């Protein structure tokens, strides 16, 4: 095993190298930033934006915890409290969790598969702007006291026109539309990148597990998110143009909403969880200093989890009138999904056991994940039982369960991933001691916040109540949870300070500070504009661990235009060269046009009609070829030359 970390020497081609770097660079200045289509630039702003929403959602949660810290508290009233928990859930699910995982894929997948940009780079920029505008719209509404207040799953009839007049539920519905458009486009980009842009030699069975995880996630997004776009559109049509999808008086049905929503909502949990599994596989391999044990089992487990997650949705509806046979099926499926997760956990344990683990912050977060996720998984298996679920439905037990699963299953690995890839993204290491403080404050604070909620739920405390009476005796456990929430907030503050400090003063990372084996560590930190001076030729699972002194590479791509190599689907044999687009303002203009349509449609259905005119023009402008720029690729042999 060689630990060579530097890119191949290219002194004799330094001129070409500079030209390539220039070809792939963004124009300078703010305008250059606005028109960038570079996956690293878009990925970074996606991560930062999602993290900002994480902080906002967290502050909403802290406010709720302060309100619940003692019985009959009057910090916030019921109306604001309803907005707080709805905004918190919607922010964390739609504006943080899915976007941040896709953002990690946007930044890392092209580097890991050894290419120069993500597939459809302008669509990628468009996706970011749409996501940003959607989030800004939701928070603008919230600060104008029009934040949604019917829960993050916006059940009808409460969310329907009769019981929630005004615009609050409409802002929720359109936020969903914004974020799902963004998420779906990124999913298509990821699939195309993974299938067609892999470096030569990276056959599907040599792909890093992280890339597999992101591929499975992208497929899940494609088949799950349409359900919520459809249902939220039906909701807004019920509210705006008088359709009757959810109105029982005219043949509609309230449970219709729940089926559509949870057909998305359950896979959603795994859409967040599966990328986290990919992050863990990357960290475990790097820190155990060996490839993850059981590659094939790991890949099959990811795929099996993806499929199974689509047949679980009714377990969110055990308290409704679902036929007993159906409940039995969904109970069995809900228990079954623990199997592939278990397989992966055992594979990681074996990897760590047989490796030489180095306990640095990224690995700490992974170990924290094991502890918390197993607890959350256990309550998940409990909740799969209809009788138990009916008892604790809508209680704090459920709140405890899904925070264990989502924070333990996704946020802990994500923070581990931040520590792991920060050196690649910025060129500097995060501070290790601060990282340990970050971890332990988060870990202790998390358990202090959410473990007591199991007990509160069993004692009968319902979720989504803004206060409770002293006689219930819930005061002490609630106070404990509030103190824990404070510790979590403190740990996130430590993280933010660590990032700000390390950006300027952090230790210089070098190309491969963890001596990991995957391709993102083969380039400089931060990566060059063109990612790699030569597209690598891959011959192993962990190319950097098994490569020779002078690794083989790909030559012959243009240095003058943004050319990438397209390879075949299974074996990644070179197939053709494709010219990628230059920076462009059209994705931003298109996103603005689309946003006007979406926001306008909250106020009048006619916005869909007049709003589509600027959208059409923006999209035509987008696709219209740039005139007067002859490219190397403009030749074709024709029998009927014009």
Under rule CB under 8 A, residue 32 binds other proteins: no
Distance CA 293, CA 284 (A): 10
Q: How far is the CB of 302 from other proteins (least distance, A)?
A: 19
Contact present, 552 and 537 (Cβ < 8 Å): yes
Per DSSP, the three-state class of 319 is coil
Residue 525 three-state SS: coil
Nearest distance, CB of residue 367 and other proteins, angstroms: 37
Say how far apart CA 91 and CA 57 lie, in whole Å: 6
Could you say which residues in the range 455-494 bind other proteins, by CB under 8 A? none
In angstroms, give the least distance from the CB of 52 to other proteins: 28
User: Would you count residue 19 as binding other proteins (CB under 8 A)?
Assistant: no
To the nearest whole angstrom, how small is the minimum distance from the Cβ of residue 255 to other proteins?
Answer: 9
Nearer to other proteins, 263 or 293 (CB): 263
Kindly tell me which residue out of 4, 5, 8, 374 binds other proteins, with binding defined by CB under 8 A.
Answer: 8
Binding other proteins by CB under 8 A: which of 289, 463, 528, 577? 577
Per DSSP, 94 falls in state I
15 forms part of the interface with other proteins (CB under 8 A):
no
Stretch that binds other proteins, among 76-84, 136-144, 282-290, 549-557 (CB under 8 A): 549-557
Q: If 0-12 CB within 10 Å is exposed, 13-18 middle and 19+ buried, where does residue 639 land? A: exposed
When the beta carbons of 529 and 568 are compared against other proteins, the nearer one is: 568
Q: How far is the CB of 559 from other proteins (least distance, A)?
A: 11
Of 146-154, 288-296, 469-477, 619-627, the segment contacting other proteins by CB under 8 A is 619-627
Helices 607-623, 586-603: crossing angle, 10 deg rounding: 170
Cα(481)–Cα(408) distance, rounded to whole angstroms?
16
Range in contact with other proteins (rule: CB under 8 A) among 330-338, 482-490, 512-520, 545-553: 545-553
- Select 223 or 451, whichever has its Cβ closest to other proteins: 223
| Contact residue for other proteins among 510, 574, 600, 614 (CB under 8 A) | 574
* Beta carbon nearer to other proteins, 184 or 271: 184
Residue 575 within binding range of other proteins, rule CB under 8 A: yes
Q: Is the Cβ of residue 434 or residue 619 nearer to other proteins in the bound state?
A: 619
Structure tokens at 101: 């995982």
Nearest distance from residue 605's CB to other proteins, in Å?
A: 11
636 binds other proteins (CB under 8 A): yes
Nearer to other proteins, 141 or 522 (CB): 522
Residue found by looking up tokens 């994500």 in the block: 414
SS (H, E, C) 351-367: HHHHCCCCCCHHHHHHH
Segment lying near other proteins (by CB under 8 A), choices 92-100, 119-127, 361-369, 377-385:
119-127
Least CB distance to other proteins at residue 123 (A): 8
- Token couple for 315: 């377990």
Q: Which of 234, 509 has the CB closer to other proteins?
A: 234
119 touches other proteins by CB under 8 A: yes
Q: Residues 420 to 439: which contact other proteins by CB under 8 A?
A: none
Contact 178, 232 (CB under 8 A): no
Cα–Cα distances in Å, from 115 out to 243, 278, 333? 48, 19, 39
Give residues with Cβ within 8 angstroms of 580, minimum separation 6: 116, 117, 121, 562, 563, 564
E strand or H helix at 171: helix 168-196
> From CA 21, how far away is CA 533, in angstroms rounded?
8
Terminus-to-terminus CA distance in the chain, angstroms?
57
- 614 scored as a contact of other proteins (CB under 8 A): no
Nearer to other proteins, 310 or 402 (CB): 310
Ranges within 188-227 binding other proteins (CB under 8 A): 188, 191-192, 195-197, 200, 222-223, 225-227
Taking the C-alpha atoms of residue 449 and residue 483, their distance in angstroms, rounded to an integer, is 7
Contact of 58 with 487, CB cutoff 8 Å: no
Query: Is residue 312 a contact partner of residue 330, using CB atoms and an 8 Å limit?
Result: yes
Q: Does 641 bind other proteins (CB under 8 A)?
A: yes
**3-class DSSP state for residue 566?**
strand
For the bound state, the minimum distance from the C-beta of residue 122 to other proteins, rounded and expressed in Å, comes to 12
If binding is defined by CB under 8 A, does position 120 make contact with other proteins? yes
Residue of the chain from 204, 230, 540, 585 that contacts other proteins (CB under 8 A): 230
Q: Are 85 and 151 in contact (CB under 8 A)?
A: yes
Footprint on residues 147-186 left by other proteins (CB under 8 A): 184
Residue 114 Cβ vs other proteins, minimum distance, rounded to whole Å = 12
Binding mask 240-269 vs other proteins (x if CB under 8 A, - otherwise)?
-xxxxx-xx-xxxx--x--xx--x------
Distance of CA 44 to the CA centre of its chain: 13
Question: Does residue 624 bind other proteins (CB under 8 A)?
Answer: yes
The minimum distance between CB 204 and other proteins, in angstroms, equals 14
Residues 325-384 touching other proteins, rule: CB under 8 A, are none
Tokens of 43: 């990925």
By CB under 8 A, the count of residues binding other proteins is 81
Q: How far is the CB of 234 from other proteins (least distance, A)?
A: 7
Residue 565 — φ and ψ, nearest 5°?
-100, 125
Q: Measured from the CB of residue 513, what is the shortest distance to other proteins in angstroms?
A: 26
299 is a site residue for other proteins (CB under 8 A)? no
Helix extents (H) in 459-522 = 475-505
Does 625 help bind other proteins (rule: CB under 8 A)? yes
Residues 90/93/97/100 CA torsion (nearest 10 deg): -50
Q: How far apart are CA 305 and CA 301, in angstroms?
A: 6
For residue 462, the 8-state DSSP code is B
Cα–Cα distance, 107 to 117 (Å, whole number): 9
């Amino acid at each position: 095993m060689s630990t060579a970390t530097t890119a191949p020497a290219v002194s004799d081609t330094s001129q070409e190298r500079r030209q390539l770097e220039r070809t792939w660079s963004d124009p300078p200045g703010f305008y250059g930033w606005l028109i960038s289509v570079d996956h690293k630039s878009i990925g970074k702003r996606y991560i930062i934006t999602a993290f900002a929403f994480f902080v906002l959602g967290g502050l909403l949660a802290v406010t709720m915890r302060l309100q619940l810290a003692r019985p009959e508290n009057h910090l916030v009233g019921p109306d604001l409290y309803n907005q707080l928990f709805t905004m918190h859930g919607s922010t964390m699910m739609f504006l943080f969790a899915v976007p941040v995982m896709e953002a990690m894929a946007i930044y890392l997948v092209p580097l890991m598969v050894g290419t120069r940009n993500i597939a459809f780079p302008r669509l990628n920029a468009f996706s970011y702007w749409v996501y940003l505008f959607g989030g800004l719209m939701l928070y603008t509404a919230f600060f104008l006291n029009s934040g949604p207040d019917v829960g993050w799953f916006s059940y009808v009839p409460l969310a329907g026109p009769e019981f929630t007049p005004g615009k609050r539920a409409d802002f929720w519905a359109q936020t969903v539309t914004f974020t799902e458009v963004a998420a779906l486009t990124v999913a298509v980009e990821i699939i195309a990148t993974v299938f067609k842009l892999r470096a030569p030699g990276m056959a599907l069975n040599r792909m890093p597990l992280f890339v597999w995880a992101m591929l499975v996630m992208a497929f899940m997004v494609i088949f799950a998110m349409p359900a919520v776009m459809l249902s939220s559109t039906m909701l807004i049509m019920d509210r705006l143009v008088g359709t009757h999808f959810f109105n029982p008086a005219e043949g509609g049905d309230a449970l219709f909403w729940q089926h559509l929503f949870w057909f998305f909502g359950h896979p959603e949990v795994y859409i967040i969880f599966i990328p986290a599994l990919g992050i863990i596989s990357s960290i475990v391999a790097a820190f155990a200093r060996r490839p993850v044990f059981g590659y094939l089992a790991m890949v099959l487990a990811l795929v099996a989890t993806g499929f199974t997650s689509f047949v679980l949705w009714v377990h969110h509806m055990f308290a409704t009138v679902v036929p007993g046979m159906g409940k039995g099926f969904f109970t069995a499926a809900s228990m079954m999904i623990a199997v592939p997760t278990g397989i992966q956990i055992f594979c990681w344990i074996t990897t760590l056991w047989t490796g030489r683990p180095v306990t640095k912050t990224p690995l700490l977060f992974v170990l924290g994940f094991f502890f918390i996720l197993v607890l959350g998984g256990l309550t998940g298996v409990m909740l799969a039982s209809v009788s138990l679920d009916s008892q604790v439905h809508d209680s704090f037990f459920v709140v405890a369960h899904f925070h264990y699963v989502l924070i333990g299953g996704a946020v802990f690995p994500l923070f581990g991933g931040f520590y792991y890839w920060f050196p690649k993204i910025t060129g500097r290491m995060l501070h290790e001691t601060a990282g340990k403080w970050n971890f332990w404050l988060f870990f202790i604070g998390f358990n202090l916040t959410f473990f007591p909620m199991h007990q509160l739920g069993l004692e009968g405390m319902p979720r989504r109540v803004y206060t409770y009476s002293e006689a219930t005796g819930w005061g002490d456990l609630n106070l404990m949870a509030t103190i824990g929430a404070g510790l979590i907030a403190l740990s996130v503050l430590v993280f933010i300070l660590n990032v700000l400090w390390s950006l300027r003063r952090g230790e210089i990372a070098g190309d491969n500070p963890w001596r990991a084996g995957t391709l993102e560590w083969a380039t400089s930190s931060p990566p060059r504009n063109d990612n790699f001076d030569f597209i690598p030729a891959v011959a192993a699972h962990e190319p950097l661990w098994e490569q020779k002194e002078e690794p083989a590479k790909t030559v012959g791509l243009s240095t003058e235009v943004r050319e990438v190599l397209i390879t075949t689907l299974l074996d990644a044999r070179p197939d053709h060269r494709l010219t990628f687009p230059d920076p462009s303002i059209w994705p931003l203009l298109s996103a603005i046009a689309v946003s006007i349509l979406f926001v306008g449609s909250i106020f009048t259905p006619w916005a869909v009609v007049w709003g589509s005119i600027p959208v059409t023009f923006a999209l035509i402008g987008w696709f219209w070829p740039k005139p007067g720029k002859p490219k190397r690729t403009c030749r074709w042999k024709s029998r009927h030359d014009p």
